[in-house]
Amino acid sequence: MRIFSFVLALWLGLCAVSQAAPPQPEPPAGRNVVLVIIDGVRQQEWGGRSVDDAGRPVRLSELFPVLLKLQKRGVWFPNLAISNPAGVSLPAYADIFAGRRQEKILSNHPPVEDFRSHYPTLMQEAQKQLRLGFDGVSLIASWAPLCQIAALAPVKPEEEFFRSCGFKSNAPSTLEPPLFFKPEVYGGSRTDIDTFVELLREVPKRHPRLLVVHLGDADEEAHLHARIQRKLSQHYGIFHYHQALRQDDYLLGRIWDALQSDPFYRDNTYLIVTTDHGRDTAEDPAQWASHGRCIAEKIRTRPCSGCSGVFALAVGPGLTAKTARGTYLHTDLAPTIAKLLGIQFPSATGKPIREIVEPAARAPQRIGVGAPPVYLTLPPPLPAQPLTQPAGAVSSTQPVLPAASPSAQPMQPTQPVQPAPQPPSPVSSLAAPVRPASPAATP
């Protein structure tokens, strides 16, 4: 009887406790990462050197007020380079997703059998290792091909993750049909506004721990300038490219605000922003409209960093405002994110970026003073290859990598980026890209 009374009292006590403290929502089980890639941001724009159609300067604060604000609380990487030789989109996304050079993807139009990821991607590894399920990893992209290269096929049903690119998604057909408020503006690509609306609709209900977002309007508007010029000999103007960049900067702010207003993400999420390539620096009045040509045509006559010099910004727990001195590649982004998520990424060849994964580590010692930043090691002329190729279909066997120079200096976003005044030197094969020598690697 005494035991019965004790058990009854204990049970009543437990009930009282559970009534007094209503169940709290479960805290997220780890850090989250959101990667936002804005397509085709030229160095002149993110470097604060752009001009409008009348040749008047366009200030950095006019184009990227949100990026500048985030820069004050995160790590800015002005010495990032693409890891592919083509300077076009698909090879860049293939490398970013897989954390390594994807040798068979050298243009936006690879052969059908190669139009896929050839290695496991960051999204797959995160889904599998963290057992995140379909909702736990999401890719939401304006450009349709990104869903196709986001995974090494075949993907087991239980290892699928949410992919929404262009006008299609792999979500099981639900009661909520896809909605497009600006359909078919860019012929096949979803507008960034519709991509953003998709994000607003899907992210709160799925809460992915890894979210990859692609915004493509700026690149579309730049190409539109070239198309109208070619077909009608009319001037469309850089105004529209700049407007798209302003819009994407605004959307970046909306994404940040959405993350910070959601307890699942607030103060627990890294935001990494980058671009897939720059734009041409050929001496052509409309050079900003295209990209990829600098590798195919101009590299043999003059140095050109327009396509390959890109940026990154990382904001998140433990990160404070600083400009990273290290020289990095696109292929380093996925291993960095893998480290932040606490997963392994054995097939990647990139290395975690120290300024992000070890923000408290001692600052690397600066080596060399006064030399301009170096983005490229230019390959020697290749007489066997034709000098011109159609933009977007560049095929080269020479990788474009930052020069293995210890003299790379940190750049401020308002400083111009100059190509290295160095003679061309050979580079290695695509299969084994040479990593840039980084002062960060030699403390």
CB of 85 to Zn ion, least distance (A): 15
CB of 227 to Zn ion, least distance (A): 11
Q: Which residue is nearest to Zn ion (CB)?
A: 89
CB of 318 to Zn ion, least distance (A): 31
Site for Zn ion in 86-145 (CB under 5 A): 89
**Residue 95 or residue 276: which is nearer to Zn ion going by CB?**
276
Decide if 125 contacts 162 (C-beta within 8 A): no
Q: Report the residue from 125, 194, 217, 219 that binds Zn ion according to the rule CB under 5 A.
A: 219
**Residue 101 or residue 206: which is nearer to Zn ion going by CB?**
101
**Residue 81 or residue 420: which is nearer to Zn ion going by CB?**
81
Q: Where are the beta strands (DSSP E) in 60-176?
A: 75-81, 137-141, 162-165, 168-169
**Residue 39 or residue 249: which is nearer to Zn ion going by CB?**
39
CB of 40 to Zn ion, least distance (A): 5
Q: What CA–CA distance (Å, rounded) separates 146 from 326?
A: 28
CB of 155 to Zn ion, least distance (A): 24
Decide if 440 contacts 354 (C-beta within 8 A): yes
Part of the chain binding Zn ion (CB under 5 A), chosen from 176-184, 213-221, 354-362, 404-412: 213-221
Decide if 157 contacts 181 (C-beta within 8 A): no
Site for Zn ion in 225-284 (CB under 5 A): 276
Decide if 161 contacts 136 (C-beta within 8 A): yes
Q: How many Cα atoms are found within 13 Å in the side-chain-facing hemisphere of 345? A: 32
Q: What CA–CA distance (Å, rounded) separates 361 from 276?
A: 28
**Residue 245 or residue 403: which is nearer to Zn ion going by CB?**
245
Query: Is residue 349 part of the contact set for Zn ion (CB under 5 A)?
Result: no
Q: What CA–CA distance (Å, rounded) separates 369 from 361?
A: 22
Site for Zn ion in 39-78 (CB under 5 A): 39-40
Site for Zn ion in 25-44 (CB under 5 A): 39-40
CB of 203 to Zn ion, least distance (A): 23
Look up residue 256 and give its DSSP letter: H
**Residue 270 or residue 288: which is nearer to Zn ion going by CB?**
288
- Beta strand 32-38 pairing with 210-215: parallel
By the 10 Å C-beta count (0-12 exposed, 13-18 middle, 19+ buried), 422 is classed as middle
Binding residues for Zn ion, per CB under 5 A?
Answer: 39-40, 89, 219, 276
